[in-house]
Structure 1
Amino acid sequence: MLSNSLATRDIQSQIHPQTNLDLHEKSGPLIMASGDGAIVTDDTGKTYIEGMSGLWCTALGLKEDRLAKAAAKQFDILPYYQNFAHRGTEPAIDLAAKLLEISPVSMSKVLFQSSGSEANDTAVKLIWYHFAAQGRPEKRKIISRQRGYHGTSIASASITGLPHLHTDWNLPLDGFLQVTCPHFYREGLPGEAEEAFSTRLAQEIEDLILAEGPETVAAFFAEPAMGTGGVILPPVGYFEKVQAVLDKYQVLMVADEVITGFGRTGSWWGSETFGLKPDLITCAKALTAAYMPLSAILISESIYQSMLEQSRKIGVFGHGYTYGAHPVACAVANEALRIYDEDGVIDGVAVLGARMESVLAPLRDHPLVGEVRGVGLMWGIEFVSDKEGRTPFPAEAGVPAKVQDAAFRLGLICRALGTAIALAPPLIVKPEQVDEIGRIMAKAIDEVYAAL
């Protein structure tokens, strides 16, 4: 067991992202000591079901020996080499080929980074580079959705549609535009049918493109299913209608598969589940099941040809990261993809997802719950003060956070996101653990309701 002084040392030395720093100084950290499958254990010995896969990422759980062995083997062979200036390693070559093989649409090349934020930031640069190569450098504005999440670097935070990533950072940058979040429950008009809602949102995008000038709008970023925004699924017909608008004005589609890639929605890719046809795909998280930091961009042939033409003109592709295509990370990713495939992990998500739905469905009748939504193994529970009016609690009431805290005390880690709670357990979660997630969530919500 770790020393109690560890919490003091943490407060004195470390900054935690996405954390209230003032509160942290008063309450201190939760220190995790070990993990096994979907279970984590803190430094006091208390165990929890890891109902968020860390940050949507530990898809194969927290003690997959095959990933550890793959890393150890590559550490022994070649622990690092860079891939600048015509250098390469076998794990990176194998991984790029595999990603192109399983891509939901035809792609040409793969570019590696270390995080989802880096991948989305790089995607913005590639889009600008592409249109500059075509002699259209003014075509560089980026459209994304309110409540969408794409990272915290300067460009990726500008794409993100969450206000706390913008306030006092002077973000978003100029040229980053946002449209309505496609959450039918919250954004649909009285009496509006779901497909009519999708039509209206597609028209909003077209109107924005026309207002800005189609010659200035470069790309549209979208998560196939929105994660950090509260697990928002696309309404009926949404991506089909949006894609038609983008094609009409030669606006590129970027599928941010950082959360949805590699089985989370029940398919290899969220783009398969929801019918996206992207020009670029960004992925990370479950690519290595979070055992090593790694991200990738899958690049269409037309964009690669622009990159090629720029190299002929300039003499070099002027972009890259020291740890991009890290051989140990790539070796771990190769093994993770084998496990997803050979062990039937992704095929099993549909069954586990159906079980999640069955244990969470009764919550729809609870006075605090307005909506239970989800796909595969990503689910959201929306809280309301008035079911008929779909009225959210005021932010200062902190109802989702109170449910999160109650669940935590009962042994379940979930995440309060806006007006909802998110659940995304590892893809290898056991059926009886899914049942326990449902039991704990029901009890936690009842506790909060009684206190209210």
Structure 2
Amino acid sequence: MLDHPSTVPANSDSARDRAALIHPMTDLQRHDREGPLLITRGDGVHVIDEDGKSYIEGVSGLWSVSLGFGQTRLAAVAHRQMLELPSYHLFRHKSHPNAIRLAERLLAMAPVPMSKVFFANSGSEANDTAIKLAWYYNNALGRPEKKKIIGRIGGYHGITVASGSLTGLARNHADFDLPLPRFLHTDCPSHWKYGLPGESEAAFAARLAANLEALILTEGPETIAAFFAEPVIGSGGVIVPPAGYFDLIQPILRKYDILFVVDEVICGFGRLGEMFGGEVYGLKPDMIAMAKGLSSGYLPISALMMNEAIWEACYAQSGKLGVFGHGFTYSGHPVAAAVALETLDLYEEYAILDHVRGLAPLLQAGVQRFADHPLVGEARGIGFLGAWELVADKAAKTPFAPPGHVGLLVERHCQERGVILRALGDVLSTAPPLVSTAADIERIIDVVGEALDATLEDLSGSAHKV
């Protein structure tokens, strides 16, 4: 049933899609054989395909559509702004009110004191900018050798040449000649996967901190510019850090004068029950990258906040060089900024943090419902994030071969039942829209259970091809 050839009519939009588009993060040959699930509209937490079938969007699109689909106020503010000032830029001493207002609003919301905001169009660009600023900052301070960037194995920070090098996922490096020089990766903070037999979370966290310090000392602290981390790793498999991990990491960064960049692209704007995910873990970053939930995914916009020390260095260096030579045509685009401002208003009016805190226990209890399922090695999550790590052998934590095969099976069984979830290799993930109801969450969890059972049956028989 899951390995059928495509029967899409040759003149349909789905068929034309195969000839016209390259789809990101997609098996291009499989896509050519099967075609896409063609989504034509959205309503609340649901999306509807070309045949009229409705699905709960259980990953908020790509972790981004926090307020659900069909928010008429976001559409209305975009329409008004399109009529008033549909496009403008921030280059060469030009500006516009929406970018200024949004920057001021974000600084007022910052979890730690921040000085300035730089706007871009995606999380990749925000993190790319943070990398460049770490280099620019150290050049301004007369430290041209302090340029190496440390990410984590399993971390995801984007897909540009620089942010893709920072990302710690082999699937995003293979045959793209990444990572570039200057990019290093330290341990993935998955206690379940990488903890030693009998090693407590506290001991695991201490070992990872010691490994980070050893890496810094081996490379030379005078060569390390910045360390990047997501509060909870998202696309790398929804990895929740072990207790005390960041409490041990942050003093090491301060000790060696290494900038700390927190990637809030997935965790920001309420996903973990606080406005910024770093607040859950007491993070004190020098820069904060954000995107996705900033506009509820309605328009492309991202932002990078920086502290006063980084700003002062940029300011001084710009005076020396005569220009701050970085920017994008659509940085702080007036329509995107207007939608972002309205999105922030809606978070407040909907009391979205209270809503997430109220329903997160229901979601997390649902995630844990399948902790003992034969296919689940670990069930984990926090806030409105959840995941199930799929394994061939629970006791030995043996992964499936080939990787990703079983994850796709479960994902497709969910989709057949009207719930869209995302398999990250063999980790099934959920990140429901923040406006989801208890009934929505219960439906997602029920479908996951059905899909796991159906996949187990597939694997027990002969119908396991994807």
The normalised TM-score by structure 2 is: 0.95
Compare 352-361 and 87-96 and name the one that shifted more.
352-361
| Residues 434-445 of structure 1: pairs in structure 2 closer than 5 A | 434-445=441-452
Counterpart of 1:202 in structure 2 is 209
- SS of the aligned residue for 1:66 comes to helix
**Match among 351, 358, 362 for residue 365 of structure 2:** 358
- SS of the aligned residue for 2:225 comes to strand
Partner Cα distance (1:143, 1:312) in 2 = 29
- SS of the aligned residue for 1:373 comes to strand
Unaligned stretches of 5+ residues in structure 2: 1-8, 460-466
Letter in 2 for 1:206: E
Compare 387-396 and 240-249 and name the one that shifted more.
387-396
- SS of the aligned residue for 2:47 comes to strand
- SS of the aligned residue for 1:364 comes to coil
Counterpart of 1:395 in structure 2 is 402
Letter in 2 for 1:135: G
- SS of the aligned residue for 1:61 comes to coil
State the 1:418 CA deviation. 2.5
- SS of the aligned residue for 2:283 comes to coil
Counterpart of 2:427 in structure 1 is 420
1:113 has 2:120 as partner: yes
| Residues 207-246 of structure 1: pairs in structure 2 closer than 5 A | 207-246=214-253
Partner Cα distance (2:402, 2:119) in 1 = 39
Counterpart of 2:415 in structure 1 is 408
Counterpart of 1:39 in structure 2 is 46
State the 1:312 CA deviation. 1.2
Offset from partner CA, 1:34-73 (integer Å, 9 cap, x none): 1011100000111110001000000000111111111111
Counterpart of 1:6 in structure 2 is 13
Partner Cα distance (1:189, 1:418) in 2 = 23
| Residues 93-242 of structure 1: pairs in structure 2 closer than 5 A | 93-242=100-249
**Match among 434, 437, 442 for residue 430 of structure 1:** 437
Partner Cα distance (1:201, 1:68) in 2 = 46
State the 1:328 CA deviation. 0.5
Offset from partner CA, 1:405-451 (integer Å, 9 cap, x none): 11111111001112311100100012101110011000000001112
Compare 392-401 and 145-154 and name the one that shifted more.
392-401
Q: What RMSD in Å do the two structures reach over aligned CA positions?
A: 1.2
Counterpart of 1:77 in structure 2 is 84
Counterpart of 2:96 in structure 1 is 89
State the 1:3 CA deviation. 9.5
Letter in 1 for 2:81: Q
State the 1:390 CA deviation. 2.2
Counterpart of 2:264 in structure 1 is 257
Partner Cα distance (1:397, 1:295) in 2 = 30
Instruction: Pick closer, same or farther for the CA change 1:396–1:359 going to 2, 3 Å.
Output: closer
CA contact (8 A) 2:367 2:387 kept: no
Offset from partner CA, 1:118-144 (integer Å, 9 cap, x none): 111111000000000000011000001
**Match among 297, 303, 311 for residue 296 of structure 1:** 303
State the 1:8 CA deviation. 1.7
Offset from partner CA, 1:59-105 (integer Å, 9 cap, x none): 00011111111111111111111111111111111110110011111
Counterpart of 2:29 in structure 1 is 22
Among all aligned residue pairs of Structure 1 and Structure 2, give the percentage whose two residues are the same amino acid.
Answer: 49
Counterpart of 1:329 in structure 2 is 336
Offset from partner CA, 1:363-392 (integer Å, 9 cap, x none): 112111121111111111111222222222
Letter in 1 for 2:426: T
Compare 76-85 and 4-13 and name the one that shifted more.
4-13
Partner Cα distance (2:403, 2:250) in 1 = 38
1:318 has 2:287 as partner: no
Letter in 1 for 2:321: I
1:64 has 2:64 as partner: no
State the 1:397 CA deviation. 7.0
Offset from partner CA, 1:230-249 (integer Å, 9 cap, x none): 10011011011000111110
Aligned residue pairs, count: 451
Counterpart of 2:5 in structure 1 is none
Instruction: Pick closer, same or farther for the CA change 1:306–1:52 going to 2, 3 Å.
Output: same
CA contact (8 A) 2:408 2:426 kept: no
State the 1:4 CA deviation. 5.4
Letter in 2 for 1:46: K
Partner Cα distance (1:169, 1:308) in 2 = 35
Instruction: Pick closer, same or farther for the CA change 1:414–1:323 going to 2, 3 Å.
Output: same
The normalised TM-score by structure 1 is: 0.98
